Amino acid sequence: MVKVFVSQPMRGRSQGEIESERDAILAKVRAMYAERGEDVREVPSYFGPKGESQMEPLECLGKSLELMSRADVAVFAPGWEKARGCRIEHMCASEYGVEIAEMM
């Protein structure tokens, strides 16, 4: 079982856009790992339109990093390099040995 964390830009996007992109990414990741005979489980990291109980951005990032610590692979959605939270998650994944996959 491969545990997958998805990092994606969220600022200025609707809940539907975020969830649609996340579903598409997870479908690609599942297909990729299915070819290797492995199952994929998402490490849920989307807190909804306003975050869990109106969390502050830095608090959301802290929670995301905690969740990423449970993942085998961190998958980065297109545009991640322009989103401050995604850039920090990418740096942490790299520094702490979480496998990185970037979607095109």
Pick the CATH number of 2-102 from 3.30.1330.10, 3.30.70.1350, 3.40.50.10950, 3.40.50.450: 3.40.50.450
- Residue 12 per-residue DSSP state: T
Per-residue model confidence as pLDDT tens digits over 86-102:
999 999 999 999 999 99
Identify the pLDDT of residue 48.
74
The share of the chain scoring above pLDDT 70, in percent, equals: 95
Per-residue model confidence as pLDDT tens digits over 1-19:
999 999 999 989 998 999 9
* CB burial of residue 6 (10 Å; 0-12, 13-18, 19+): buried
What residue ranges do the domains of the chain occupy? 2-102
53 vs 20, more confident: 20
